[in-house]
Amino acid sequence: PSAINEDHSLSEGSSEGIKLPDYDGEHKSGLTPQRGPLDEAIDRVNEMFQAKGVDVSPESVSGFITTFWGFLDANEEAVAMAKNNTVAQLKASEGFGSAVGLAVLKTCQESQEIQSYMTDPAFLGQIADIAADALHAQHRADSSSEAGTEVSES
């Protein structure tokens, strides 16, 4: 109770501000980012499909190969083989070929699992809701001058 009448204000201090660090933005080279092995693999697989005349989009191939790559890279034996052998040895290895086959199989199974849910009307309705939110958010900024206009359902 005796401290009630005491002055507890901060001291006046100096008028100099704290020196803040300089920030000149992110320093980047003007070069295109370096492409990695996954990007190169996707390009090569896309070229294979194009050469065969298969009508699939590069984005579909990219999604498939990215999923496949995830399964293959998670396979400890395949990674160990890649670390301890030459490319020629990997290409000739039955074990590596089996790891690739398993990764492709897992990718196909996962894709089929996803596809099986697309026949469920309730699930498809949720996908439509998510797509509406995402597509609206993506294109809303593009049409800010058209705010308030409604598009009718077809």
Q: Count of domains in the chain? A: 1
CB 112 within 8 A of CB 140: no
pLDDT value, residue 123: 94
Q: Residue 29 corresponds to which amino acid?
A: S
Domain for residue 44, yes or no? yes
Range of the domain at 132: 37-138
Domain for residue 152, yes or no? no
Domain for residue 27, yes or no? no
pLDDT value, residue 151: 52
* Whether the predicted model's global pTM rises above the 0.85 cut: no
Domain for residue 7, yes or no? no
Domain for residue 69, yes or no? yes
Domain for residue 61, yes or no? yes
- Return per-residue pLDDT of the chain as tens, 154 residues: 566 666 666 566 666 666 666 655 555 555 556 679 999 999 999 999 999 999 999 999 999 999 999 999 999 999 999 999 999 999 999 999 999 999 999 999 999 999 999 999 999 999 999 999 999 999 987 665 454 455 555 5
At 91, list the tokens. Answer: 């290409």
Task: Output the 3-class SS for 52-84.
Answer: CCCCCCHHHHHHHHHHHHHHHHHCHHHHHHHHH
CB 144 within 8 A of CB 137: no
Q: What is the maximum span of the chain, computed from C-alpha positions, in angstroms?
A: 91
Neighbours of 35 (CB within 10 A): 10
Domain for residue 4, yes or no? no
Give residue for tokens 């000739």: 92
Domain for residue 150, yes or no? no
